[in-house]
Amino acid sequence: MENSVTPPAIRSETGKIGMLAFTIIWIGQMFSLLGTAMTQFALTIWAWELTGQATALALVGFFGLAPLILVSPLAGAIVDRYDRKKVMMLADLAAGLLTVVVLMLYVSGNLQIWHIYVTGAFSGTFQAFHFPAYSAAVTMMLPKKQYGRAKVAPDVQGRVFSTRLLIAQISAPAALLLTGPLADRFFEPAMMPSGVLANVFGLFVGTGKGAGMALMFVITGVLGMLISLAGYAFRVVRDAEKILSDYDSGPSSRLEKKTE
């Protein structure tokens, strides 16, 4: 019977080629994501300078995240059916074109706040394809020892990564819609020198303009820390790496390990 176990020399050479490909893609993605993040940060500051309201900043984030979450399930299914590298390239190309559009509007003096909302929505849509494509492609290029433990089969990783993103971010759009009005209409007025919260929290974050948003940062930070500690208290979460078996931990994988 023909031996289906891959020789160690071939696996080693394949691993080197995969690592080189991953390094090239990683460098490209680093610059791409860095540019996207810098653009998003600059547009957020521009929106604040234009409106002076936290609600405008929250809406910039909302229109970027909402399409990303809504499209994620569909994007994961598409990523599993097509070439993941090409999907990444198309998503990066679309993000670059959107940045050029915003730049042209800004230079011509025609950029308005609603332009940021629209381009942010399109950008979020393309990011919904980019994240699962990149995450799944990594596991296909690298040998297992060079990435975290794979829990799912390669042919469904796009859908799994998209679902993970959906679950992790599903509350973010609603939170953003609440955060802006809360900052503008409650926390900021409440932290003015004569506000209802100034005497209680003024010692920690000061009073006046910006103090209300600073207090919101403190509150959300403390809540996030408490939630993290509470999650760690559950054994199934704390020992997930031990409880969940690897995708390639079946009989064929164990046979390969014995032959190494």
Q: Locate the domains of the chain by residue range.
A: 8-170, 191-260
Residues 6+ apart with CB under 8 A from 141: 18, 19, 21, 22, 25
pLDDT at 157: 66
Q: Are 101 and 119 in contact (CB under 8 A)?
A: yes
Element at 53 (helix H, strand E): none
Q: What is the pLDDT along the chain (260 residues), one digit of tens a residue?
A: 444 445 555 455 555 566 677 777 778 778 877 887 888 888 888 888 888 888 888 898 899 888 888 888 888 888 888 887 788 888 888 888 988 999 999 999 899 999 999 998 998 888 888 878 877 777 666 655 555 544 566 566 667 767 777 777 778 888 888 999 999 999 999 999 999 999 999 999 999 999 999 999 999 999 989 988 888 888 887 787 777 666 555 544 444 444 44
What is the spatial distance between Cα 102 and Cα 104, in angstroms, rounded to a whole number?
Answer: 5
Q: Are 65 and 124 in contact (CB under 8 A)?
A: yes
pLDDT at 145: 56
The two tokens of residue 206 are: 């000061």
pLDDT at 150: 47
pLDDT at 259: 47
